[in-house]
Amino acid sequence: MHMSTLLIALLTAVIIGVFLVRHLTAKPWLTVSQPDDIGPLQIPALKVGLWAFFACITSLFALFITAYLMRMDPNHASDWYTISKPGILWLNTGVLVISSLAMQWARNAEKSENIGGLKTALAVGGLFALAFLGGQLIAWQQLKNSSYFDIANPAVGFFYLLTAVHGLHLIGGMYVWGKTCFRTWRRTTIEKGRLSIELCTVYWHYLLLVWFILFGLLLST
Amino acid sequence: MPLAVVIILLVVATIIFHFASPWWFTPIASNWGAIDTTVNITIWVTGVVFIAVNLFLAYVIVKYRHKDDGRAHYEPENTKLEVWLTSITALGVAAMLAPGLFVWADFVNVPEDAAEVEVVGQQWRWSYRFPGADGVFGSTDIPNMSVDNPFGISPDDPAGQDDILVNDNTVHVPLNKPIKFLLRSKDVLHDFAVAEFRVKMDLVPGMVTYIWLTPTKTGTYDILCEELCGMAHYAMRGAVVVNEENEFDSWLSEQPTFAQTVARPVGDPVAGQAFFAVCAACHGPQGEGNLALNAPKTAGQEGWYIKKQINSFKSGFRGAHKDDIYGLQMAPMAAILVDENAIDNVIAYINTLPDNPPETSVTGDAARGEKLYTTCAACHGRQGQGIWSQDAPRLAGMTDWYLVQQLKNFKAGVRGDHASDFQGRQMALLSLMLKDEQAIHDIVAYINTL
Amino acid sequence: MAYVAIADRDHEHHLHDPQTFITKYIWSQDHKVIAIQYGITAISVGVLAMILSAMMRLQLAFPDVFSFITPNNYYQFVTMHGMIMVIYLLTALFLGGFGNFLIPLMCGARDMVFPYVNMLSFWVYLLSVIILMASFFVPGGPTGAGWTLYPPQSILPGTPGTDWGILFMLISLAVFIVAFTMGGLNYVTTVLQARCRGMTLMRMPLSVWGIFVATILGLLAFPALLVSAVMMILDKTIGTSFFIPAVLSMGESLDHLGGSPILFQHLFWFFGHPEVYIVALPAFGIISDLISTHARKNIFGYRMMVWAIVAIGALSFVVWAHHMYVSGMNPYFGFFFATTTLIIAIPTAIKVYNWVLTLWQGNIRFTVPMMFAIGFIFTFTHGGLTGLFLGNVTVDLPLSDTYFVVGHFHMVMGVSPVLAVFGAIYHWFPKISGRMFNETLGKWHFWLTFLGTYSIYLPMHYLGILGVPRRYYANGITDFIPESAQTMNVGITIAALLVAVVQIIFFVNIIWSLRNGKKADSNPWGATTLEWQTPDTPPKHGNWGPELPVVYRWAYDYSVPGQSLDFIPQTEPHHGHDSVDDEDKDKK
Domain span at residue B43? Answer: 2-64+79-108
A105 shares a domain with A177: yes
SS3 of chain A:
CHHHHHHHHHHHHHHHHHHHHCCCCCCCCCCCCCCCCCCCCCCCHHHHHHHHHHHHHHHHHHHHHHHHHHHHCCCCHHHCCCCCCCCHHHHHHHHHHHHHHHHHHHHHHHHCCCHHHHHHHHHHHHHHHHHHHHHHHHHHHHHHHCCCCCCCCHHHHHHHHHHHHHHHHHHHHHHHHHHHHHHHHHCCCHHHHHHHHHHHHHHHHHHHHHHHHHHHHHHHC
**Segment B21-32 mean pLDDT:** 93
Most C CBs within 10 Å, among A30, A63, A214, to test the C interface: A63
Interface check B207 vs A, CB under 8 A: yes
With cut-offs at 50, 70 and 90, classify the pLDDT of residue A10. low
* B154 within 8 A of B260, measured Cβ to Cβ: no
Outline where DSSP puts E strands in B66-216: 115-122, 125-130, 164-166, 170-174, 179-185, 190-193, 200-203, 209-213
SS3 of C425-457:
HHHHHHHHHCECCCHHHHHHHHHHHHHHHHHHH
Interface B–C counts its CB contacts (< 8 A) at 363
Using only C-alpha atoms, chain C has a radius of gyration, in whole angstroms, of: 24
Query: What's at C437, amino acid-wise?
Result: F
Q: Do strands B209-213 and B200-203 pair parallel, antiparallel, or not at all (unpaired)?
A: unpaired
Domain span at residue C556? Answer: 27-244+259-582
A45 pLDDT more than 80:
yes
**Segment B211-223 mean pLDDT:** 96
Output the domain CATH number for residue A123: 1.20.120.80
State residue A4's pLDDT score.
59
C297: left (phi over 0), alpha (psi -120 to 50) or beta: beta
Question: Is C31 among the domain residues?
Answer: yes
Question: Is A34 among the domain residues?
Answer: no
Nearest to B202 among C326, C374, C393 (CB): C326
**Angle value at C-alpha B155, between B151 and B161, nearest 5 degrees:** 80
Question: Is A36 among the domain residues?
Answer: no
A169 shares a domain with A68: yes
**Among B residues 65-84, those touching chain A with beta carbons less than 8 Å apart:** 76
**Among B residues 128-147, those touching chain C with beta carbons less than 8 Å apart:** 141-143, 145
B391 shares a domain with B350: no
Nearest to C554 among A24, A28, A45 (CB): A28
Interface check B143 vs A, CB under 8 A: no
Q: Which chain B positions have a beta carbon within 8 Å of A152's beta carbon?
A: none
With cut-offs at 50, 70 and 90, classify the pLDDT of residue A35. low
Q: Which chain A positions have a beta carbon within 8 Å of B206's beta carbon?
A: 76
Give the C-alpha separation, B114 to C196, whole Å. Answer: 69
B392 shares a domain with B299: no
State residue A22's pLDDT score.
59
State residue B417's pLDDT score.
87
State residue A8's pLDDT score.
64
Q: Report the percentage of chain A scoring pLDDT > 90.
A: 47
Question: Is B74 among the domain residues?
Answer: no
Under DSSP, the state recorded for C195 is P
Tell me phi and psi for residue B191, to 5 degrees.
-145, 130
State residue B326's pLDDT score.
87
The residues pairing with B170 across neighbouring beta strands, listed in sequence order, are: B239
Q: Which chain B positions have a beta carbon within 8 Å of C145's beta carbon?
A: 228
Domain count across chain B: 4
Domain span at residue A12? Answer: 1-28
Q: Which chain B positions have a beta carbon within 8 Å of C269's beta carbon?
A: none
**Segment B397-402 mean pLDDT:** 92
State residue B68's pLDDT score.
82
**Are A76 and B76 an interchain contact pair (Cβ–Cβ within 8 Å)?**
no
A138 shares a domain with A105: yes
Q: Which chain C positions have a beta carbon within 8 Å of B220's beta carbon?
A: 479
A84 shares a domain with A11: no
Q: Which chain B positions have a beta carbon within 8 Å of A75's beta carbon?
A: 207
Q: Report the percentage of chain B scoring pLDDT > 70.
A: 100
Most B CBs within 10 Å, among A24, A29, A30, A78, to test the B interface: A29
Output the domain CATH number for residue C213: 1.20.210.10
**Angle value at C-alpha C269, between C265 and C270, nearest 5 degrees:** 115
Cα–Cα distance list, C451 to C419, C498, C500, C528, C575 (Å): 11, 11, 13, 32, 47
Question: Is A74 among the domain residues?
Answer: yes
- Residue C6, burial from CB neighbour count under 10 angstroms (0-12, 13-18, 19+): buried
Residues 6+ apart with CB under 8 A from A116: none
Domain count across chain A: 2
Residues 6+ apart with CB under 8 A from A30: none
State residue C578's pLDDT score.
46
Question: Is B156 among the domain residues?
Answer: yes
**Among B residues 357-396, those touching chain C with beta carbons less than 8 Å apart:** 372, 374-375, 378, 381, 387-390
Give the C-alpha separation, C550 to C548, whole Å. Answer: 7
State residue B438's pLDDT score.
92
Residue, of B395 and C26, whose pLDDT is higher: B395
B224 shares a domain with B279: no
State residue C203's pLDDT score.
93
A19 shares a domain with A102: no
Question: Is A206 among the domain residues?
Answer: yes
B259 shares a domain with B179: yes
CA atoms C96, C100, C106, C108: torsion sign: positive
Question: Is C21 among the domain residues?
Answer: no
B298 shares a domain with B287: yes
Question: Is A15 among the domain residues?
Answer: yes
The parts of chain C modelled with pLDDT lower than 70 are: 1-2, 10-16, 576-588
Interface check B354 vs A, CB under 8 A: no
State residue B359's pLDDT score.
87
* B361 within 8 A of B400, measured Cβ to Cβ: yes
- Residue B431, burial from CB neighbour count under 10 angstroms (0-12, 13-18, 19+): buried
- Residue C519, burial from CB neighbour count under 10 angstroms (0-12, 13-18, 19+): exposed
pTM of the model: 0.94
**Are B387 and C251 an interchain contact pair (Cβ–Cβ within 8 Å)?**
yes
Strand B200-203: give its sheet, edge to edge.
B170-174, B237-243, B219-225, B190-193, B200-203
A110 to chain C, closest Cα gap in Å? 15
Output the domain CATH number for residue B130: 2.60.40.420
Give the C-alpha separation, C467 to C481, whole Å. Answer: 8
Question: Is A40 among the domain residues?
Answer: no
**Are C195 and A191 an interchain contact pair (Cβ–Cβ within 8 Å)?**
no
Cα–Cα distance list, B386 to A15, B301, B378, B390 (Å): 58, 9, 10, 8
Give the C-alpha separation, C581 to C557, whole Å. Answer: 17
Q: Is the ipTM of this complex over 0.90?
A: yes
Query: What's at C20, amino acid-wise?
Result: T
Enumerate neighbours of A (3 or more CB pairs within 8 A): B, C
Tell me phi and psi for residue B387, to 5 degrees.
-135, 120
State residue C232's pLDDT score.
97
Q: Which long-range contacts (CB under 8 A, 24 or more apart) does B35-41 make?
A: B35/B103, B35/B198, B35/B199, B35/C394, B35/C395, B35/C397, B35/C398, B36/B198, B37/B99, B38/B96, B38/B99, B38/B100, B38/B103, B38/C392, B38/C394, B38/C395, B39/C389, B39/C395, B39/C398, B41/B95, B41/B96, B41/B99
Q: Minimal CA–CA distance to B214: which of B174, B166, B172?
A: B174
B280 to chain A, closest Cα gap in Å? 50
* A138 within 8 A of A88, measured Cβ to Cβ: yes
pLDDT per residue as tens digits for the range A185-216: 887 555 556 788 899 999 999 999 999 999 99
Question: Is C550 among the domain residues?
Answer: yes
A68 shares a domain with A149: yes
State residue C587's pLDDT score.
43
Question: Is A121 among the domain residues?
Answer: yes
CA atoms C327, C331, C332, C338: torsion sign: positive
pLDDT per residue as tens digits for the range A74-131: 766 677 778 888 889 999 999 999 999 999 999 998 888 888 888 899 999 999 999 9
Interface check A37 vs C, CB under 8 A: yes
- The count of C-alpha atoms lying within 13 angstroms of the C-alpha of C471, restricted to the half-sphere facing its C-beta, is 29
**Are B76 and A27 an interchain contact pair (Cβ–Cβ within 8 Å)?**
yes
Question: Is C150 among the domain residues?
Answer: yes
Q: Minimal CA–CA distance to A1: which of A78, A60, A80, A72?
A: A72
Q: Which chain A positions have a beta carbon within 8 Å of C317's beta carbon?
A: 9-10, 12-13
B248 shares a domain with B154: yes
A99 shares a domain with A191: yes
Nearest to C363 among B72, B93, B187 (CB): B72
Strand B125-130: give its sheet, edge to edge.
B164-166, B125-130, B115-122, B179-185, B209-213
Interface check A188 vs C, CB under 8 A: no
SS3 of C5-69:
CHHHHCCCCCCCCCCCHHHHHCCCCCHHHHHHHHHHHHHHHHHHHHHHHHHHHHHHHCCCCCCCC
State residue A196's pLDDT score.
85
Q: Report the percentage of chain B scoring pLDDT > 90.
A: 73
Q: Minimal CA–CA distance to C393: which of C463, C461, C323?
A: C323
Give the C-alpha separation, B108 to C329, whole Å. Answer: 12
State residue A118's pLDDT score.
87
Question: Is B256 among the domain residues?
Answer: yes
A114 shares a domain with A19: no
**Segment B212-237 mean pLDDT:** 95
A200 shares a domain with A168: yes
Enumerate neighbours of C (3 or more CB pairs within 8 A): A, B
State residue A147's pLDDT score.
80
Domain count across chain C: 1
B296 shares a domain with B164: no
C194 to chain B, closest Cα gap in Å? 27
**Are C71 and B26 an interchain contact pair (Cβ–Cβ within 8 Å)?**
no
